[in-house]
Amino acid sequence: MQLTPMLSQYLDIKKQHPDAILFYQMGDFFEMFFEDALEAAPLLEVTLTSRDRTAANPIPMCGIPIHALSTYLPRLLAHGKRVAVCQQVENPEHAKGIVKREVTRVFTPALVADPELVAPEVRNILFVAAPSDTGLAVCLVDLLASETRTGEFHSKDLFLDLLQEWQPKELLIPSALSSHEFVVEALRILPTMTVTLRDKFFESDDAVKAAAAYLKETQGLAGGTLSPPLRLVDHEALKLDAVTVSALSVVRTPWKDELSLSDVLDGTLTSMGRRRLKEWLLHPLSARKAIEQRLDAVESFLKDDAFADSIREPLKSLRDLERLASKSHLGLSLPRDLVAIREILKRIPALKTRLKTSKAARLKQLAGELDAMTSLAKLLDEALLDEPNTSIREGGIFKETYHPEIKEYRALSQDAKGFIAAMETREKERTGISSLKVKYSRVFGYTIEITKSYLDRVPKDYRRKQTIANGERFVTDELKKFEEKAMSAEHRLSSLEEALFLELRRKVAEASGKLLQNARLLSELDVLQGFAKVSKERGYRRPELVDSDSFVIEEGRHPVIETLMPQGEFVPNSIEMDDTSRTWIITGPNMAGKSTIMRQVALIGIMAQAGCFVSAAKARLPLFDAIFTRIGSSDDLTRGRSTFMVEMAEVARILGKATPKSLILIDEIGRGTSTYDGLALAWSILEYVHTEVGAKTLFATHFHELTALEKAFTGLVNRNVLVDRRQGDVVFLHRLGPGACSRSYGVDVAKLAGLPPKVLARAGDVLKLLESQSERVARVRSKALDPLEKQLLFFDEPKIPETLAPLES
């Protein structure tokens, strides 16, 4: 095929980006050719055409207008595609031969260097994994938060947990890893994650270096992200694994779109604060001092409305400094971004003054750490107009006092208006044509317009330029000369402003680390004031954190469920645990509130360790090191394992990881197998947790047999959720009481649910039969409860007939 110069340039550039769709700028359009066009046209929903239609082999082609990039680009990224944006890098008017073009940026599913393309609450995460001795070395990159985290994983489960927590959009690995079991499993649970292979980045098996190389390739960023890497797994934090986060609805996730703890606790005023809040709830603290500092800050806001308002005021409608800082670091700031940065910086001095007066240590610290960056703020103030042009190429960015030539050129274009008016008056007089007009149009420049009826009066020095419907347009030498002067002033002005802007942008980019630091501090302040706001509105109280093992929650409420009910309808419950009662067996009918109270305890723990007040009249809490849950029927079909298998795997993990400082919630285990298996396992798990793990444990169960264990172990106690049955129907009181639930209420609940009376009566009869048969079991069982004699006679007894003989009617 005979290649035109343009096509051969295209193919050269395309060769450097074989796995990306190439957006090739031609004037006002990005065009795609060949395979790229075939692939992209249907995803973009644009028409597929062809170049050179008459040729034997027309080239498939499609395109989008440049200004619509932000509409179309996300469609390709959402399908896991990469896009290399190739722009004209010289003015076509000045080009000799073919216009020079370069790929200026590569967008990948995880690396979207444009904050406008990523919703404020979304974090676009890249995972980079390299082989390490017995597992994977992982580096996480959040480009828009300019954040990296690193860690090493030897356990597959931990790695998968991490994936579920961060939901990376893309995984960068060397091709040797693509069959690694961690990676294979990762793709099973996150099938939409894009895998990118780049062997050349991994010559040293260093995930951080590979990440940096990838940022260089796609963003042209030599230095990687702004802040030094954080730890991927924070050993100082209260550990919440992915199962727990999901079971407790700590944050809202795409696959579980229900009200979450972070929604309820969200009193933030900025989108960076909202993201920080999520992070705090997913990684609560475990160090007392840091928690107390947050609580002190919350309290100082809560107790002093005027002070709180004085802090809230400047935070209101504050733009997303975190993203502005990252954008600046990426060299992408536009004039209005710098104005936004300027406006944020202007609010800092007042904030610092106010924070300094606070007695709360953390707020005082914030006063010191926030940096008003006065010289940068001053520079931006002197430089930029309040509403500069959105583009950097067309001028209209700077104040005219910023540079002497700006004033001069602007004066020239101001003069143009005066010149035109003066010339119009003068020419009218000279020619006697009262309707004469001096006009400007983009295509024809400055002209003198004369209507038809006056054409005979046109002087000799007018040269005809264009015919219009009701007359003719002319130029004169004077007008032509003026036009050149005006045009070149405008042109010089816009190139001057562009150059000045690039210089200013570089200066701001140099300070982007400081800006990011400010962003983090402001978002922290935002979360703290938000905690105070919500705590006040919802009547939360400051928790007391104790070193002892005992813990008390008085009149605790489930923070999320209470908001879904009319005020005052949620029934508060108190919980007190110490060494004489560190394991609770909770019984009670279905729907009585067992699961609710268990989650409520865990959520209150999370709130406290995140530094928020808690939904209780009073709370004295220990510092948990981890919260583990095995709750309900959270079928983990995504991991492709059966429910029972999943349940046992989760329990195994809990038993392996929990310590005496942990809180464990086990809700209804042993349902997914036969009754005896289930009971046997629930029994032995309960014993093990109590005697070997020693964590604070809430254990809800439908196996009433287990309530007998109370007699065998000190510190293991029964509690039940009370019901009122006096009126014939069961009424759930949602109140926790001592002791075990006296009986099972399955039949009563079925009645509430509307089963036909005949079914209920029959079930009642069958139940009586079964209960009489199992009485002997109970007798034998009591013997088996000696913990030293761990033999469970219970299983020797054939108790319940496999099938029931039909009862006589």
The residues of the shown chain that bind ligand ADP, judged by CB under 6 A, are 561, 570-571, 573, 588, 590-596, 721, 734
159's contact among Mg ion, ligand ADP, none, with CB below 5 to 8 A by partner kind, is none
Give 53: exposed, middle or buried? Use CB within 10 Å, 0-12, 13-18, 19+.
Answer: exposed
Which residue, 110 or 603, has its beta carbon nearer to Mg ion? 603
> What is the DSSP annotation of 23-88?
EEEETTEEEEEHHHHHHHHHHHT---EEESTTSSSPEEEEEEEGGGHHHHHHHHHHTT--EEEEEE
Contacted by 609, from Mg ion, ligand ADP, none: CB < 5 to 8 Å by type: none
The CB-of-591 to ligand ADP minimum distance in angstroms stands at 5
How many whole angstroms separate alpha carbon 335 and alpha carbon 505? 9
CA nearest neighbour of 534 among 257, 267, 261, 773: 267
- CB nearer ligand ADP, residue 388 or residue 556: 556
Q: Which one, 159 or 732, has the nearer CB to ligand ADP? A: 732
Least distance between ligand ADP and beta carbon 587 (Å): 9
Report in angstroms how near the CB of residue 264 gets to ligand ADP at its nearest.
16
Are the beta carbons of 483 and 446 closer than 8 angstroms?
yes
When the beta carbons of 504 and 571 are compared against ligand ADP, the nearer one is 571
Nearest to 584, CA basis, from 596, 572, 570, 594: 594
Nearer Cβ to Mg ion, position 447 or 595? Answer: 595
Instruction: Compose the 559-598 pattern: x for residues touching Mg ion by CB under 5 A, - for all others.
Output: -----------------------------------xx---
Q: Which residue lies nearer to ligand ADP by CB, 473 or 558?
A: 558
Contacts of 724 (CB under 8 A, 6+ apart): 730, 731, 733
Enter the tokens of residue 334: 């536009």
Neighbours of 117 (CB within 10 A): 17
The site partner of 590 among Mg ion, ligand ADP, none (C-beta below 5 to 8 Å per kind) is ligand ADP
Q: What are phi and psi of 658, to 5 degrees?
A: -70, 150
Sign of the CA dihedral with 285 first, then 287, 293, and 296 last: positive
Q: Between 492 and 671, whose beta carbon lies closer to Mg ion? A: 671
Quote the CA–CA distance of 734 and 722 in Å, as a whole number. Answer: 6
What does 335 bind: Mg ion, ligand ADP, none (CB cut-off 5 to 8 Å by kind)? none
Q: How far is the CB of 555 from ligand ADP (least distance, A)?
A: 11
**Residue 247 or 610 with smaller CB distance to Mg ion:** 247
Q: What is the b/e burial string over 518-539, where b = at least 16 CB atoms within 10 angstroms of the residue's CB?
A: bbbbbbbbbbbbbbbbbbbebe
Residue 720 binds what, of ligand ADP, Mg ion, none (CB under 5 to 8 Å, by partner type)? none
Q: Is the dihedral of CA 434, 438, 441, 446 positive or negative?
A: positive
Contact 283, 277 (CB under 8 A): no
295 binds, among ligand ADP, Mg ion, none (CB under 5 to 8 A by kind): none
Among ligand ADP, Mg ion, none, partner that 494 touches (CB below 5 to 8 angstroms by kind): none
Residue 591 touches which of ligand ADP, Mg ion, none (CB < 5 to 8 A by kind)?
ligand ADP
CB 397 within 8 A of CB 335: yes
Taking only Cα atoms into account, the Rg of the chain, rounded to an integer number of angstroms, comes to 36
In angstroms, give the least distance from the CB of 543 to ligand ADP: 19
Least Cβ distance, residue 657 to Mg ion (angstroms): 24
**Considering beta carbons, is residue 87 or 590 the nearer one to ligand ADP?**
590
Please report how close the Cβ of residue 725 comes to ligand ADP at its closest, in angstroms. 16
CA distances (Å), origin 49, targets 21, 28, 54, 76, 82: 17, 17, 12, 19, 22
Cβ atoms 605, 695 nearer than 8 A: no
326 near Mg ion, judged by CB under 5 A: no
Closer residue to Mg ion in complex, CB, 83/669? 669
Strands, sheet with 101-107, edge to edge from the N-terminal-most edge strand: 49-51, 59-65, 29-33, 21-26, 83-88, 101-107
Half-sphere exposure of 254 (CA within 13 A, CB side): 10
Least separation in angstroms between residue 590's CB and Mg ion is: 7
Q: Taking CB within 5 to 8 Å according to partner kind, which of Mg ion, ligand ADP, none is near residue 115?
A: none
Paired tokens of 350: 């007042």
CA 366 to chain CA mean position, Å: 25
Residues paired with 437 in a beta bridge:
449
Q: Name the minimum Å distance from CB 586 to ligand ADP.
A: 8
Give least dist CB 664 to Mg ion, A: 16
Residue whose CB is less far from ligand ADP, 466 or 590: 590
Task: Return the one option of Mg ion, ligand ADP, none that residue 41 interacts with (CB less than 5 to 8 A, by type).
Answer: none
Residue 596 binds what, of ligand ADP, Mg ion, none (CB under 5 to 8 Å, by partner type)?
ligand ADP
Contact 183, 159 (CB under 8 A): no
Name the minimum Å distance from CB 573 to Mg ion: 15
The closest residue (CB) to Mg ion is 595
Q: CB of 698: closest distance to ligand ADP in angstroms? A: 11
Within 10 angstroms of residue 209's Cβ, the number of other Cβ atoms is 17
105 vs 599, which CB is nearer to ligand ADP?
599
- By beta-carbon proximity to ligand ADP, the closer residue of 327 and 599 is 599
| Closest distance to ligand ADP from the beta carbon of 730 (Å) | 12
Nearer to ligand ADP, 518 or 596 (CB): 596
**From the list ligand ADP, Mg ion, none, which binds 213 (C-beta under 5 to 8 Å, kind-based)?**
none
Task: Take residue 607 and report the two structure tokens written for it.
Answer: 């709130």
Torsion of CA 654, 657, 662, 666, to 10 degrees: 0
3-state secondary structure (DSSP) of residue 700: strand
Compute the least distance from the CB of residue 761 to ligand ADP, in Å.
24
Place of tokens 């349902």: 671
- Is there a contact between 362 and 293 (Cβ–Cβ < 8 Å)? yes
Q: How many residues bind Mg ion (CB under 5 A)?
A: 2
What residues does 146 pair with on adjacent strands? none
Min CB(163)–ligand ADP separation in Å = 29
Q: How far is the CB of 558 from Mg ion (least distance, A)?
A: 13
Which one of Mg ion, ligand ADP, none is in contact with 588 (Cβ closer than 5 to 8 A by kind)?
A: ligand ADP
Helix (H) or strand (E) holding 805, with range, is none
734 binds, among Mg ion, ligand ADP, none (CB under 5 to 8 A by kind): ligand ADP
Q: Which residue is nearest to ligand ADP (CB)?
A: 593
Nearer to ligand ADP, 77 or 603 (CB): 603
Nearer of residues 557 and 594 to Mg ion, judged by Cβ: 594
* Site for Mg ion, rule CB under 5 A: 594-595
